[in-house]
Structure formats: structure tokens, C-alpha cells
């Protein structure tokens, strides 16, 4: 089997819900890059990447101009060799960021071809350790929500079967963040897990002062408290407070995860395959975390269909985020959370094909 054609489409899909806000962004739309690999065997592979901030066009250009010439004529079963060759076309212009995001989309399409050849969904192809995956929800804890709305949404999600919810932090006055956490905990009781996420907005001093208070409400983790480039700062915070630290959403390499893990700067490894070089590097990070007895809980916005399959095949990854549910039906064979658990896809492949009508309606390039 040889790759005969590489095609890309860029989409901008509106969220079918209120504008959502964290400490860094307000989101009304999500950009998607769809990568399509056609082969002489009649099997087509689909890959995807995404961004809730504009600029994914850069990743599309990387695929069209750097990676496509490498891919044409290649045997897709040589996935790791192909990924390495593509990666080094960017050696001097960008080893992380948009070029890596584009390459991950290519890597998913290569995996998609392999799974379809085997006639198995990704989670079965990898070798499963579970047949459903527990979910926690972020879709009710946005920073722009009032305190009453936070409480109402938490109760709504619990009624749907979730027993873990995330609440965004990063208000101008962190004391207000703590008041909101206290109010939600009082309203939902002690049996529900609460996670918190600062989206990199705090200083180390704020992390120590306000992060140390989170234990009062039995918060499961404090996510991305500070800028992700500073491992030393996270290690100091991790040793100063009792609430566990979660990071990974904006970490792009396995080496960076190695540095966090060996420094004792992370307790929940939130490796996001769409920021790494795809599935292979994600599995490497998950294996590294397992060797330190650390859980992996992948950061997940729209890529849940991918991450739940990785979780189903990874013993130390038993929990996946649920978010942006309003656009869930954009996928071919969407999956849903039922009674607090993701149901796994059954069609062969990785499952990142966007429905044709969505591509046509929201395509921008």
C-alpha cells in the first residue's frame, strides 16, 4: 500500500453554547485541520488537529508544503520513519507549536490507515485494558459563570451521572476564586470530586498563598497554575502545598514531561496527544508516567474520541475530560457520556473524520 494523495481542509466551527471563558481566552469558535491520506489500496486515512485560538492555517501550510511531498509514495506502515522524516523538514523553523500540531494530524491519519487495515478501532488495535472510560466534566465551570450558575451547572452535571467536575480559577482577585470553590463544595457535598484550573495565570507567590487553601475543600488537583515553561517553579509549588499539581495541556515534548516528572513537579500528567507528535509520543509519555506510578489524565476539549481510546488501552489512564459537548455531533460516529462513562467507538480506525456536511458548511481554506 502506498500513499497517493494528501489533502487538507481548514474549518472554523462555532460552539453551539454560550461563549466560554477561562483566565486566558474567550471561545466562540474552534478551528479544525482535517488531513486526508488516500492510498492505492482504496483505504483512506483521516487525521485532525484543532485550536480554540486562531492560527491553525500555519499548521495547514506545514502539512501542504513540508509533509505532503514526504508522504507521497510512502508505505504508511512505516509510520515512525515517516513521522521522523517529516519532523526534520521543520528542523530550523519550528520544532514545537504549529508545525508539530500539523504533524500530529498526519500521524493520526497514518494510524487510521493501520487500524482500518486491521478492521479494528484504535483501542482494540492497541490492546484494551477496559471497555469504557470514566469521564469528568469541564462544561459547567467557566470563569465567566456567576457563582449561582457554577452551582446550578455542577448539580446538572451530577444529575447526568458525573461525579467529578472542574472549575476554572483566575479571577482578578483570587479570593473570589476561593469563595466560588467553597460555595460549590457546600452545594454539592463531599462525595463529588472538584478539580480546579488556572490556565497559567498565577505567579508562584499566588500559587503558594491561594493554592495552599484548596485543601480546605478537598480539591482533587490544581491545574496549570503557572506558565508551563518553568519546571522549577512548579516543583517548588508542588512541594509547598498539599493539593496535587496537574500539567500537560501546553507541553509539547516527551522531554519536557520527563523534566516535570523527575523534578516532582507534577502529580497528574495531562499529556495531550494533539500537542505532542501524536499517538506514538503520547504512549511514550504515558509509559514514562507509569514508571513513576503517576496517573495520566489527558487534556481534552474536542479530541475526546481519540483520548478515550488511548485511555482504554493504557492502565494508568482511567479518566478523560469531557468538554465542548455542543459540537460533539460534528464527527462521524460521535461518542457520548452515559452515566458518567464514555462509550467507546466501534468503527475501525482512529475516528477523527469530520462529517462531510460540516466540512462544507464551515470550511475556510
Per-residue pLDDT reduced to its tens digit, 201-245: 999 999 999 999 999 999 999 999 999 999 999 999 999 999 999
Residues 184 and 301 in one domain: yes
129 and 162 housed in the same domain: yes
Q: How confident is the model at residue 91 (pLDDT cuts 50, 70, 90)?
A: confident
Closest CA to 249 of 272, 216, 219: 272
* pLDDT of 18 above 90: no
Span 158-203, pLDDT tens digits? 999 999 999 999 999 999 999 999 999 999 999 999 999 999 999 9
Q: Same structural domain for residues 102 and 196? A: no
- Burial (0-12, 13-18, 19+ Cβ within 10 Å), 25: exposed
DSSP annotation of 292: T
d(CA 232, CA 97): 22
Would residue 349 count as lying in a domain? no
Which pLDDT score is estimated for 270?
98
- Sheet architecture: strand order including 3-14: 3-14, 29-39, 44-51
CATH of the domain at 27: 3.30.390.10
Q: Which domain holds residue 61?
A: 3-120+357-362
Strand extents, DSSP E, 217-329: 219-223, 245-247, 268-269, 319-322
Which CA distances in Å does 288 have to 37, 53, 62, 95, 272?
31, 30, 29, 21, 14
Residues 332 and 199 in one domain: yes
Same domain, 295 and 193: yes
User: Contact at 8 Å (CB) between 307 and 126?
Assistant: no
Do 155 and 253 belong together in one domain? Answer: yes
Q: How far apart are CA 59 and CA 78, in angstroms?
A: 22
Q: Is residue 185 part of a domain?
A: yes
Query: Are 150 and 219 within one domain?
Result: yes
Domain count, the chain: 2
Separation of alpha carbons 60 and 11, rounded Å: 11
* Same domain? 155 vs 212: yes
DSSP structure string for 18-50: S-EE-SS-EESEEEEEEEEEEETTS-EEEEEEE
Q: What is the CATH number of the domain that holds 128?
A: 3.20.20.120
Amino acid at each position: 500500500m502506498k500513499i497517493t494523495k494528501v489533502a487538507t481542509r481548514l474549518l472554523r466551527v462555532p460552539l453551539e453554547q454560550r461563549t466560554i471563558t477561562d483566565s486566558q481566552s474567550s471561545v466562540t469558535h474552534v478551528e479544525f485541520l482535517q488531513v486526508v491520506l488516500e492510498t492505492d489500496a482504496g483505504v483512506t486515512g483521516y487525521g485532525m488537529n484543532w485550536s480554540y485560538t486562531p492560527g491553525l492555517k500555519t499548521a495547514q501550510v506545514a502539512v501542504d508544503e513540508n509533509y505532503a511531498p514526504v508522504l507521497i509514495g510512502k508505505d504508511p506502515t512505516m509510520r515512525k520513519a515517516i513521522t521522523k522524516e517529516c519532523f526534520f523538514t521543520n528542523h530550523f523553523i519550528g520544532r514545537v507549536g504549529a508545525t508539530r500540531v500539523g504533524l500530529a494530524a498526519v500521524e493520526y491519519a497514518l494510524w487510521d490507515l493501520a487500524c482500518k487495515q486491521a478492521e479494528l478501532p484504535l483501542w482494540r488495535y492497541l490492546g484494551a485494558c477496559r471497555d469504557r472510560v470514566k469521564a469528568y466534566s469541564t462544561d459547567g465551570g467557566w470563569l465567566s459563570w456567576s457563582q449561582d450558575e457554577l452551582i446550578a451547572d455542577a448539580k446538572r452535571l451530577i444529575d447526568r451521572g458525573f461525579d467529578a467536575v472542574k472549575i476554572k480559577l483566575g479571577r482578578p482577585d483570587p479570593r473570589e476564586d476561593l469563595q466560588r470553590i467553597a460555595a460549590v463544595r457546600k452545594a454539592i457535598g463531599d462525595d463529588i470530586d472538584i478539580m480546579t484550573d488556572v490556565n497559567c495565570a498565577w505567579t508562584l507567590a499566588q500559587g503558594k498563598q491561594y493554592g495552599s487553601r484548596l485543601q480546605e475543600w478537598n480539591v482533587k488537583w490544581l491545574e496549570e497554575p503557572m506558565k508551563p515553561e518553568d519546571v522549577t517553579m512548579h516543583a517548588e509549588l508542588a512541594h509547598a502545598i498539599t493539593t496535587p499539581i496537574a500539567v500537560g495541556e501546553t507541553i509539547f515534548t516527551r522531554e519536557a514531561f520527563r523534566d516535570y516528572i523527575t523534578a516532582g513537579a507534577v502529580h497528574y500528567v495531562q499529556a495531550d496527544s494533539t500537542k505532542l507528535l501524536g499517538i506514538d509520543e503520547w504512549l511514550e509519555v504515558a509509559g514514562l508516567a507509569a514508571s513513576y506510578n503517576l496517573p495520566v489524565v489527558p487534556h481534552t476539549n474536542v479530541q475526546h474520541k481519540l483520548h478515550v481510546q488511548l485511555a482504554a488501552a493504557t492502565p494508568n489512564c482511567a479518566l478523560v475530560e469531557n468538554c465542548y459537548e455542543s459540537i460533539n455531533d460534528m464527527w462521524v460516529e460521535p461518542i457520548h457520556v452515559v452515566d458518567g462513562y464514555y462509550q467507546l467507538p466501534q468503527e475501525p480506525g482512529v475516528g477523527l473524520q469530520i462529517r462531510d456536511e460540516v466540512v462544507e458548511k464551515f470550511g475556510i481554506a
